[in-house]
Amino acid sequence: MSNNIVVAIDGYSSCGKSTLAKALAKKLHFIYVDSGAMYRAVALYFLRNNIDLENNEQIAEALKNIHLNFHSRDYQSHITLNDEEVSDEIRQMHVADKVSAVAAIHDVRVAMVKQQQRLGKSKNIVMDGRDIGTVVFPNAQVKLFMTADPKIRAERRYKELLPTNPDITLEEIFDNLAHRDYQDTTRKESPLTRAEDAIILDNTDLTQAEQLLFALSHIEPFMA
């Protein structure tokens, strides 16, 4: 059996999972995998190709034509969809509005989980998402479940999106987050839920440095 270390980070939308995951990967020299980016890239492909989310045959065919790759530069995760860099486009609202519905589809999840498990087979990795500690890596050495006050989460995402989306409103973001949380926690397929052995990390009142130290204190025992 391989003895690589897997850190699984799950939690609600815009809780800072990827910020923490990237900081951990940088500090520990682990590989960072943003599983949400994979679902976003699939949603983008479905949007561009007018895939009907009720049509299983169309979905199966589309999944065969989707090739995703990660490129890590400076511990920032870049994703390509059929060799096209889509890291920026997948963060836009038209994708955010669609992604939860796409991520709820059984065949989409089966295809993504398979790829995710392959990525974590032999290397030390930090992966963030919604089902990483429950479905993708139930045996991960460290599982963190992140949460934060919904208002704080919306404000953080607003600041992030405003420079490239000057017309966006805080209300729109708040509603989008609430909608995604609802869809992610109530869907039939792998709903967002805390694994029994996951450590809760509520970062409402924590700085990034503080949350990093908290997470490191749980990982370091496995690195001895």
Given the rule CB under 6 A, which residues bind ligand DC? Answer: 13, 35-36, 39-40, 99-100, 103, 129-132, 180, 184
Q: Based on CB atoms, which residue is closest to ligand DC, 22 or 180?
A: 180
Q: Based on CB atoms, which residue is closest to ligand DC, 30 or 39?
A: 39
Q: Based on CB atoms, which residue is closest to ligand DC, 32 or 39?
A: 39
Q: Which amino acid is at 53?
A: L
> Nearest approach, Cβ of 57 to ligand DC (angstroms)?
22
Instruction: Label the pairing between strands 6-11 and 31-34.
Output: unpaired
Do residues 53 and 66 lie in contact, with contact meaning Cβ atoms separated by under 8 Å?
Answer: no
> Nearest approach, Cβ of 184 to ligand DC (angstroms)?
5
SS3 3: coil
* Residue 218, burial from CB neighbour count under 10 angstroms (0-12, 13-18, 19+): middle
> Nearest approach, Cβ of 221 to ligand DC (angstroms)?
25
> Nearest approach, Cβ of 192 to ligand DC (angstroms)?
7
* Token pair of 103 as six digits: 């991520």
Q: Based on CB atoms, which residue is closest to ligand DC, 38 or 219?
A: 38
> Nearest approach, Cβ of 106 to ligand DC (angstroms)?
12
SS3 218: helix
Q: Based on CB atoms, which residue is closest to ligand DC, 161 or 220?
A: 161
Largest interatomic CA distance in the chain: 52
Instruction: Label the pairing between strands 125-129 and 6-11.
Output: parallel
